Amino acid sequence: MSVTGIALVLFLTFHASMNVVALISAKGYNMICEFLGANWYAVAATVGLAALVALHFIFAICLTLQNRKARGNNSYAITDKPAKVEWASQNMLVLGIIVILGMCLHLWNFWYNMMFAELAGTENVALAANGVYHIAKTFSCPVFTVLYMIWLCALWFHLNHGIWSSVQTLGWSGKIWFNRWRIIGSIYATIIILMFVAVALAYCFGYRPADFNEVVPAMCGGACL
């Protein structure tokens, strides 16, 4: 589970770094989207990532069910939370379900309208690669923005616990480094999530990079998002 978790963290790091470009340059972000379009390497990476994510959550669910089965009736007898047990670690299943639902929403708003649209030929290729247009369109809707905030909040808890937990599972955490890894994991998870939040809220409240109007009107008939 630690390997799939680390793979997920690395992907989110790349994805968050890529998204921040949308705050600086619409053309720059679209160049990245075009490069990562429906090419064989992008499709292969997407399939591989999907498999890793699926394995990660399958392992997480199985582990949670095994832990509950091992506790048996004792889980109902406990009324006080152990002092050293985090809230996130006790609610990873619920957080995981929220994360999965959020990913489904994200896939619908972006992957389906971009890579899948290009592969299936259901959308103009230029529009499918116009990632900044899809960002503006999605986060112009307050409902989607709120749903994304809920998803990102759950993702923060999941990452915050998962980063140091994975390091501990790999045996890289001794008595001295245990608390250090927890702090490092918390800071790292916070930075990643804030990068996503910054893009979502900026576009929700009407921010657009300077070259936005040079890209979007040409793609969607002058529509103002």
3-state secondary structure 23-84: HHCHHHHHHHHHHCCCCHHHHHHHHHHHHHHHHHHHHHHHHHHHHHHHHCCHHHHCCCCCCC
Low-confidence ranges of the chain (pLDDT < 70): 1-4, 38, 40, 56, 60, 63-64, 67-68, 71-92, 123-125, 164-175, 177, 217-225
CB contact at 8 A, 88 and 161:
yes
Give residue 78's pLDDT: 43
Give residue 4's pLDDT: 67
Give residue 84's pLDDT: 45
- Kindly report the CA angle at 104 between 57 and 10, in degrees rounded to 5? 55
Structure tokens at 16: 């968050």
CA–CA dist 67, 85 (Å, integer): 14
pLDDT digits (tens, 9 = 90+) for 174-203: 667 677 778 888 899 999 999 999 999 999
pLDDT digits (tens, 9 = 90+) for 64-93: 677 667 766 554 444 444 444 466 566 667
CA–CA dist 136, 212 (Å, integer): 10
CA–CA dist 220, 224 (Å, integer): 9
Phi, psi angles (nearest 5°) of residue 134: -70, -35
